[in-house]
Structure 1
Amino acid sequence: MKVSAHVYISGRVQGVFFRSQTQRKAHEHNITGWIKNLSDGRVEAVFEGEEKDVRILTDFCKLGPTGARVEKTEVILLKFTGEFDDFQIIW
């Protein structure tokens, strides 16, 4: 079953390659959507794909890449929209 997840990640998550490592992982698991830094220091992302693959990405966000220190991850599951063709970093 395909699902969508809207994710907010707090902690030391900017300047530690969080977005690029998440994008790499998304490509490995055929996830579409986007990821961006927020002005308040958090990272925001939307993942769409097979439920098991979206879960892999949300689990990755709870740990983050080497150098990150994730303090909180908020995951909101939504209905799959199919609106994305790929996974992009939004600048």
Structure 2
Amino acid sequence: MSRKRIRATVHGRVQRVAFREYTRREAARLGVSGWVQNQADGTVLVLCEGEVARVDALVAWLSTGPPYAIVTRIDLKEEEPQGTTGPLEIRYAS
């Protein structure tokens, strides 16, 4: 099984539209691990890992996002898989 790890910065109207919760649900449906967090600059940061096709499916979903979101751009950075497992979690700013 080939694994993939992506760090995605999602730009647009992506805060105050339940983006993190919808992302958590979609990742659970796909079986993808990691976390999602709002950033101070108005973007949402998603770190996800799992089987290549499942991560690719989540990234494709991020390009549209949930209802009321308007995604204008996604910056993607591929990272070395770390073997992360478990549900994708919502992280809150400290």
Amino-acid identity (%) = 30
The CA deviation string for residues 28-78 of structure 1, in whole angstroms up to 9 with x for no partner, is 111100000000000001000000000011111111111000011011111
Counterpart of 2:74 in 1: which secondary structure?
A: strand
Runs of 4+ more than 6 Å apart? none
Unaligned runs of 5+ in 2: none
Contact 2:27/2:87 (<8 A) preserved: no
Aligned length: 91
Report the TM-score, using the length of structure 2 for normalisation.
0.92
CA RMSD of the aligned region, Å?
A: 0.9
Unaligned runs of 5+ in 1: none
Q: CA deviation at 1:84?
A: 4.4
Q: Match of 2:86?
A: 85
